[in-house]
């Protein structure tokens, strides 16, 4: 029955229609994933740039690095997920094997931003680039203010120490 239906269809139209359908399905499936992964990578780069131009003896407000609303942030250092995530394929966020290497060496830091009890953003950072200290609890935007210093454990990195723990 299917064979008869396909034999009636002109071959030329199928050659054009099938790739278009495949592209539409792939962009629908991967579109949100790409935006999330590329956004995570962009946030990491923007944060590093912002910290590089901020005075080494100054203060850093986490709200200055975000372009979305949030009312709590949780900083998780030495993040070790229970399962390997394949959410960001094609090196959209990390290069091949980089995330696994960071996890195994204890250098993956996660920022979880929450608004009204729902996660609005989840960002992964390299601890050797940006190290958070003293931010062991969930923080409000007003409390997420850090002193900037050099990360003596990892040369070239920045150490952010929480000013006023809640």
149 has which bridge partners?
A: 159
SS3 content of the chain, % helix, strand, coil (to 5): 35, 25, 40
Residue 151 lies in domain = 2-162
Spatial CB neighbours of 77, under 8 Å, sequence gap ≥ 6: 109, 127, 131, 132
Number of domains making up the chain: 1
**Tens of pLDDT, residues 51-65:** 888 766 688 999 999
The pTM assigned to this predicted structure is 0.77
**Tens of pLDDT, residues 135-163:** 888 999 999 999 998 888 877 788 899 98
Q: Helix (H, G, I), strand (E, B), or coil: what is residue 165?
A: coil
């Amino acid at each position: 029955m299917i064979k008869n239906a396909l034999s009636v269809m002109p071959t030329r139209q199928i050659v054009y229609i099938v790739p278009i359908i495949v592209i539409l399905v792939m962009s629908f499936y991967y579109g949100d994933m790409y935006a999330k992964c590329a956004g995570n990578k962009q946030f990491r780069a923007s944060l590093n740039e912002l910290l590089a131009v901020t005075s080494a003896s100054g203060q850093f407000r986490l709200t200055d690095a975000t372009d979305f609303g949030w009312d709590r942030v949780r900083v998780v250092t030495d993040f070790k997920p229970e399962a390997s995530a394949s959410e960001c394929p094609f090196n959209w966020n990390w290069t091949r094997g980089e995330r696994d290497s960071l996890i195994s060496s204890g250098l993956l830091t996660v920022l979880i931003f929450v608004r009204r009890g729902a996660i609005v953003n989840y960002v992964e950072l390299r601890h050797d680039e940006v190290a958070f200290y003293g931010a062991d609890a969930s923080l409000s935007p007003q409390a997420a203010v850090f002193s900037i210093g050099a990360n003596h454990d990892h040369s070239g990195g920045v150490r952010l120490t929480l000013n006023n723990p809640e």
